[in-house]
Amino acid sequence: MGCKAEELRQIPLFALLDDEEIAVLAAQVEIKKFAARQRIYKLGEPGKHAYVMMSGTVRVTTVDRDHQEVLVDEPRDGEFFGFASMLEDTPHQTTALAMEETTCVEVSRDDIAALLQQKPMAGMDMLTVVSRQFHASQELVRLRASRNSNDVIEEEMSFGDRIADTVARFGGSWTFILLFGAVLLVYASANMVLKGRAWDPYPFILLNLFLSMLAAIQAPVIMMSQNRQDTKDRVRGELDYDVNLRAESEIQNLSGKLNMLTEKIGDVDDLLREHLKLKEQLPGR
């Protein structure tokens, strides 16, 4: 579907273009509409076109070495996605999926070339968008490579989880044991001394009721904390696996480079030996 000049003016990237340039660009680009859950392009497809968001929601994802889907970007209105692959004319390195009914401007290399002929400074705006996406990708890689297990666990903790951990931590401390023992000793001693005036005489039925209620509440809270500990151990294990996988990949890369260096050294040795043989075969040697 064709694009109107007024629609392009709503896109920040094209806001600096004059009427004539907007008209030239509007005659070339097209408006594409995508239904909810419709794939715009997928990883590995030819990067013939890039897209500029006009409305809707799009998730741009890729797949890491562990075959896990990683969110790369959620472009807002006026932002590009698929731009780098379109400029390089290479297959897309990401997958773009419309999460709801979405409208985009479809742009090709020819469209960009015509635009830059009319408005060279528009290239600076586009380079700004590309650099922003590049920095976001760098930040994503940095965070995934150096994630702290404690930070990940803290982010996933709910208010109830924090209460459970606090109760379990206090209930398993010497402070709780000594304090609880002192309260029991004072309670029992007071009722023994008061005898007939005691509010809970021996065998301390009211105290047993309180202790049963406390145990009934404390036991499931401690179990919740134990489940949290299992979750923490699993997160730490997954992060350790990621680190080991990256370390293995780096070791393989270094091993390959060492093998190449060894082969080159061997080739140099062969050449030197051939050179020495030729010198020995020369007349007058």
3-class secondary structure for 4-49?
CHHHHHCCHHHCCCCHHHHHHHHHHCEEEEECCCCEEECCCCECCE
Q: What is the pLDDT of residue 39?
A: 92
**Which residues in the chain land under pLDDT 70?**
1-2, 12-17, 65-66, 119, 121-156, 239, 242-243, 245-272, 275, 279, 281-285
C-alpha 31/C-alpha 52 separation (Å) is 10
Task: Kindly report the length of the chain.
Answer: 285
Give the pTM: 0.45
Three-state SS sequence of 61-119: EEECCCCCEEEEECCCCCCEECHHHHHHCCECCCEEEECCCEEEEEEEHHHHHHHHHHC
Taking a C-beta distance cutoff of 8 angstroms, is the pair 8, 25 a contact? yes
Residues 6+ apart with CB under 8 A from 91: 43, 44, 45, 46, 47, 85
The span from the CA of 148 to the CA of 134, in Å, is 23
For β-strands 49-55 and 102-108, DSSP reports them as antiparallel
Interatomic CA distance for residues 249 and 228, integer angstroms: 32
**Per-residue pLDDT at 146:** 52
What is the three-class DSSP state of 51? strand
pLDDT at position 168: 76
Distances (CA, A) of 137 to 83, 144, 220, 250: 14, 11, 43, 20
Q: Quote the pLDDT of residue 21.
A: 73
pLDDT at 58: 92
pLDDT tens-digit map of 45-59 = 888 888 888 889 999
Q: pLDDT by residue (tens digit) across 199-228?
A: 888 888 888 888 888 888 877 877 777 777
In 10 A of CB 47, how many CB atoms?
21
